[in-house]
Structure 1
Amino acid sequence: MAEAKKGKAGLTEVEVSTSDLAAIVGKTSRWIRQLTTEKVLKQSGRGKYILAEAVQAYILHISGGAKDDGKPTYTDHKTEHERIKAEKAALELEEMKGNLHAASDVSRLLSDLILTTKSRVLGVPSRIATECDKEPADVVESVVRREIETALSALAKYTPDQIGGDVNNGSPKDS
């Protein structure tokens, strides 16, 4: 019984070289040195590692790291990457269905809408002025133009930033 304990204690003290450790874990010596630089593995001497400690540290590293060190683990990064890929795929699907539009497309559409509306509204005074009988045409035209420009100034103050929140999620502002 004492022999078994002595043999087990001996395994925890076995010292191996960088190349031996690389062969044990199935990686290159360069990879082992990189893990040493990153402080995943600790050397017991120059190019030497305690086998049991090194293998346990390597297993902990490839399994995602310790949960209590406060740093994100490899598994955390992988999970976040997969979540982002799924979100991107969902957005692309919504775009293909026509339920979602690129912000640049909506911005271009709104700019065209504003310019077209402005041109049409500014054409109203000359059309109205010819239909008014009681007032001289220039008086009616100036009054109507002033009122239309007042209305358009409010429209001109809108920026894509003010409606960007609704544009980005593809939902209309009033729905």
Structure 2
Amino acid sequence: MAKKKTEAEKLHERIVGTGELAAIIGKSDRWVRQLTGEKVLQQVERGKYILGEAIQAYCEHVAGGKEEDKRPRLIDYKTEHEKTKAEKAALELEHMKGNLHAAADVELLLSDLILTTKSRILGVPSRISTECENESAEVVEDIVRREIETALASLAKYTPDKIGGEIDHGSTKDG
């Protein structure tokens, strides 16, 4: 009985063949040979491995490599991928809540606001020309100010809920 206990303690030092190691890790002989060729597993002699070292090396390989290696590990790529998926889900949620808008929607709305305001301001001279005939400078100034304030009022009426919805393309009462 004492002999079995000694053997159990030294199981990690036991030398196993390619087939036996393949059966333990649940892969084929060919897979074990491929890992040996890639220097993941180290042989003590042709087709022989120290069980403990081979299992540890295989576990490190499955985890993506040794952490002290300069190259990125598979686990690092998987972690980065999961992090990216979480960020994407958070952005989609914010979009659904209406707290986040597509850049194209914002650009379209702002372009519409700018063009509408520009056309209203450029239309001021033609709208006030008849009103300002034979008027004093003070009256002309009041009329110009009133028309510019009317043109700029559309900017003050801007609401974020228009983003992503139907946008008014300059169809207003006064032009």
- Fold equivalence (TM over 0.5): yes
* Deviation sequence 1:29-56 (CA, Å, 0-9, x none): 3443443454332344555433332112
Q: Which residue of 2 aligns with 1:82?
A: 82
Q: Which residue of 2 aligns with 1:107?
A: 107
* Deviation sequence 1:137-170 (CA, Å, 0-9, x none): xxx9xxx8xxx9xxxxxxxxxxxxxxxxxxxxxx
Contact preservation (8 Å) 2:15, 2:48: no
Count the aligned residue pairs: 137
TM-score, structure 1 normalization: 0.58
CA distance in 2, matches of 1:2, 1:104: 76
Q: Which residue of 2 aligns with 1:131?
A: 131
Q: Which residue of 2 aligns with 1:51?
A: 51
Identity among equivalent pairs (%): 62
TM-score, structure 2 normalization: 0.58
Q: How do 1:1-175 and structure 2 match up within 5 A?
A: 12=13, 14-17=15-18, 19-45=19-45, 47-63=47-63, 65-134=65-134
**Which residue identity is paired with 1:101?**
H
Structure 1 gaps, min length 5: 149-175
The structure that is helix-richer by fraction is: 1
**Which residue identity is paired with 2:84?**
I
Structure 2 gaps, min length 5: 149-175
- The structure number with the bigger radius of gyration is 2
CA distance in 1, matches of 2:96, 2:11: 64
Q: Report the 3-state secondary structure (helix = DSSP H, G, I; strand = E; otherwise coil) of the residue aligned with 2:104.
A: helix
Q: Report the 3-state secondary structure (helix = DSSP H, G, I; strand = E; otherwise coil) of the residue aligned with 1:49.
A: strand
Contact preservation (8 Å) 2:40, 2:61: yes
The CA RMSD measured in Å over matched residues stands at 3.6
